[in-house]
A and B are shown apart, each in its own frame.
Chain A
Amino acid sequence: MNSFITSSIGKKAIMGVSGFFLVSFLCVHLTANLMIVADSSGETFNEVCHFMATNPIVRVIEPVLALGFLLHIALASWLTLQNRAARPVKYARSNQSGNASWASRNMYILGALILVFLLLHLWNFWWKIKFAGDPLLAQTEVDGTLMENTYALVSGLFKTSVAYCVLYILGGILLGLHLTHGFGAAFQSVGLSNRVWRKRWAVLGVLFAVVIAAGFSIIPVYFLLGLG
């Protein structure tokens, strides 16, 4: 079993499985986010955030999620280094754009840009909620329970900064592009594909990418339009 992690297929399978894990996280995250738009009083979103911050299962999964990200990034770097080394002399002329999609050829660059976005995003919200604090987070009462006003923090950022709105829309689009290839490729890497399913994964991958990109972009667009 020890040769598994160093083998090309083993590494790719772990990339795929960690990818699935991150995809499931995206689904939960998007569902929670949409509460911002669904309830303009912010109470539902605050309740969801309070649940996330206090639920013991979510508390246990948080470090696992961080580990999932680290594994995905570490293996991607390892694979990319090996792949670059596999062709020491480059072609003078090649037709890469003609035989593979742009996203599939630039997954590492897309991933790196998403990581930059993720760090910015963590600094904007997670860091303030967990450690630094923010005056906007002053306690609020929802249905008799005292909790942090996360809605005020999120809406405050988007209401006061068009630049951040644009950055968050860009983040959603980058994530979508990464998923147009990543979604189907994860199934291929763990061997769950064949003549019929590869077409289905390709279609589902694009659909999922659009849902994620549009879904996450709805929130900044909502505030840009002055609806929140």
Chain B
Amino acid sequence: MSDKILKELTLKIWRQKDAKAKGGFETYKIRDISGGTSFLEMLDILNEQLVGENKEPVAFDHDCREGICGMCSLFINGRAHGPDDEVTTCQLHLRRFKDGETITIEPWRSGAFPVIKDLIVDRKAFEKIQQAGGYVSVTTGGVPDGNAIPVPSEKAEEAMDAAACIGCGACVATCKNSSAMLFVAAKVSQLALLPQGKIEAARRAKAMVAKMDELGFGNCTNTGACESECPKKISIEHIARLNREYLKAKLQE
């Protein structure tokens, strides 16, 4: 079965020369494009067009285009990663749009994620949070036996669910408060649930939350919007665990 051809799409894209420049929307037309084209391929085609017209191509983030690297972003028609659930922008296809539709494409909007150029935002804030404590300290020595530390299967499953976070920032982009709680909760949970991570759990929770607050993300107000737009379906149950871990750590002080 071949894909339908969309005769015309209108793209309203945020253009911004650099971090300091004042940005604005530009409108572009894409004609006779297959519904089987991925969203990022459509932007590639648009950029070919722009280069041909001697215009500056649209800058956007992308890497693996397989939905696992967390590099692509884009706020498409008011939704992080577009209208599909549980996929990243690179896995979104034009068959999800109607012929003649106007598609609004914006960068992630958050004070902690400043725009670098056009649709690319600086997500180093996530790395700074990770560096504050999102790891397990490992001292050198022999490789430990795989089964030496027993892990209950349901804990392993929960930890794995949290570890599915690809750090794309859709939670921050979606949250009305630009809160990074779902991201931090996933990173704290994946380690707090396992015996290897438990040892540093208190220090980790305190350090990562302190870094998150310092970087200017908003506060979680439990609306649950983040989990509904997360491409990896990370649950806000992990936020409850982060709250628990943090309060426990603070009480132990």
Interface residues of A (CB under 8 A from B): 1, 3-4, 6-13, 79, 82-83, 85-96, 98-101, 104-105, 107, 181, 184-185, 188-195, 198
Contacts and interface: CB of A to CB of B under 8 A. Distances in A.
Contacts of B224: 99-100, 104
B contact patch SS: mixed
A86 B110 contact: yes
Contacts of A83: 176-179, 218-219, 221
Contacts of A190: 243, 247
Nearest to B244: A191
Q: For this complex, into which size category does the number of interface residues on chain B fall?
A: 35 or more
B223 interface: yes
Given A105-B223, A107-B221, A86 B104 contact: no
A198 B227 CA distance: 14
Contacts of B79: 95, 98-99
B209 interface: yes
Contacts of B240: 188, 191-194, 198
Interface string B109-128: 11110010000000000000
B46 to A, nearest CB: 19
A107 B245 CA distance: 26
Interface stretch (B27-35, B132-140, B228-236): B228-236
B78 A94 contact: yes
Contact of B225 (A86, A100, A185): A100
Contacts of B253: 1
B101 to A, nearest CB: 13
A82 to B, nearest CB: 6
A188 B219 CA distance: 13
A74 to B, nearest CB: 14
Contacts of B241: 191, 194
